């Protein structure tokens, strides 16, 4: 998770999030290049002493400033479309984790283990030393790492959003509808998230905590 002294984005724990970071850097290079070029032109125009009031058209210049931005947009769109299709990929193997949003807690089901439980935020008075305020829960989600996990979300009342930033996962939980997204965790650890859809008075008090363990330990759980 992010820390107080962190300047960059949090470390990616899944291939999808790593691809998102690469696209972020890709777009940032383009934006910085455009900003630098426009700034240079602005400075030159400010100090330019030449006048071209008699020039009525410049077809070559207009062609250049039409074609070049179009090529830059294509350069930006191609990796964006690739990432979009990667996010929609589904896997037939792995495990299924169903998450149901309530006002204001999450319910989880793992059909392969015939397991179902609720996950509430841990009150501040019950926190142990080192726990994160407003982020700890009484029942963590436990899944195996280095294995495909299909997360299915829905809601029992209003709109919610199941979000884990380190995994690159953000899914709306809609009443009467199932949304799914594949998640592949690369390394063990504890990952934190929160509901990202304003769902009522206690919207900020329904955190998500996912613990990635080995497959052997997960089966024993």
Asked whether residue 162 falls in the same domain as residue 212, the answer is yes
CA distance 170 to 168: 7
Give me the half-sphere count of Cα atoms (radius 13 Å) on the Cβ side of residue 39. Answer: 6
Give the chain's count of helices (H) and strands (E).
Answer: 3, 10
**151: pLDDT strictly greater than 70:** yes
d(CA 173, CA 170): 10
pTM: 0.79
Question: What is the DSSP secondary structure assignment for residue 140, as one 8-state letter?
Answer: -
pLDDT of residue 49: 77
Residues in contact with 160: Cβ distance below 8 Å, sequence separation at least 6, in sequence order: 101, 153, 172, 173, 195, 197, 199, 206
Q: Are residues 25 and 131 in the same domain?
A: no
**Which among 43, 72, 88 is the end of a domain?**
88
pLDDT (tens digit per residue) in 62-83: 888 889 999 999 999 998 998 8
Q: Write out the DSSP string of 23-69.
A: HHHHHHHHHHHHHHHHHHHHHHHHT-----TT----HHHHHHHHHHH
Q: For residue 176, is pLDDT > 70?
A: yes
In a domain, 62, yes or no: yes
Do 189 and 107 fall within a single domain?
A: yes
Number of domains in the chain: 2
> Are residues 123 and 77 part of one domain?
no
CATH number, position 76: 1.10.287.90
Asked if residue 1 has pLDDT above 70, the reply is no
Cβ proximity of 155 and 126 under 8 Å: no
CA atoms within 13 A on the CB side of 163: 16
- Give the C-alpha distances (Å, rounded to integers) separating 92 from 89, 107, 149, 150, 182: 10, 23, 10, 9, 10
User: For position 164, which CATH number holds?
Assistant: 2.60.40.420
Residue pair 119/139 in contact (Cβ under 8 Å)? The answer is: yes
Q: Which domain covers residue 163, as residue numbers?
A: 95-220
Residue 188 has pLDDT above 80, yes or no: yes
Where do we find the tokens 């400033």?
65
Q: For 10-34, what is each residue's pLDDT tens digit?
A: 888 888 888 888 999 999 999 999 9
């Amino acid at each position: 998770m992010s820390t107080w002294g962190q300047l960059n984005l949090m470390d990616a724990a899944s291939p999808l999030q790593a691809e998102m970071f690469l696209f972020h850097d890709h777009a940032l290079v383009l934006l910085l290049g455009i900003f630098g070029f426009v700034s240079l032109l602005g400075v030159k125009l400010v100090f330019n002493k030449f006048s071209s009031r008699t020039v009525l058209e410049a077809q070559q210049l207009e062609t250049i400033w039409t074609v070049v931005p179009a090529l830059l947009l294509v350069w930006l769109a191609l990796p964006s479309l690739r990432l979009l299709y990667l996010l929609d990929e589904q896997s037939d193997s792995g495990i299924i984790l169903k998450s149901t949003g309530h006002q204001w807690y999450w319910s989880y089901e793992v059909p392969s283990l015939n397991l179902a439980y609720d996950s509430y935020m841990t009150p501040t008075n019950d926190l142990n030393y080192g726990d994160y305020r407003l982020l700890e829960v009484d029942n963590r989600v436990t899944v195996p790492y280095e294995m495909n996990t299909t997360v299915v979300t829905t809601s029992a009342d209003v709109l919610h959003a199941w979000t884990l930033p380190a995994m690159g996962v953000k899914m709306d939980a809609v009443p009467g509808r199932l949304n799914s997204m594949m998640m592949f965790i690369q390394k063990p650890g504890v990952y934190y998230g929160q509901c990202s859809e304003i769902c009522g008075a206690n919207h900020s008090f329904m955190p998500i905590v996912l613990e990635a363990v080995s497959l052997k330990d997960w089966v024993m759980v």
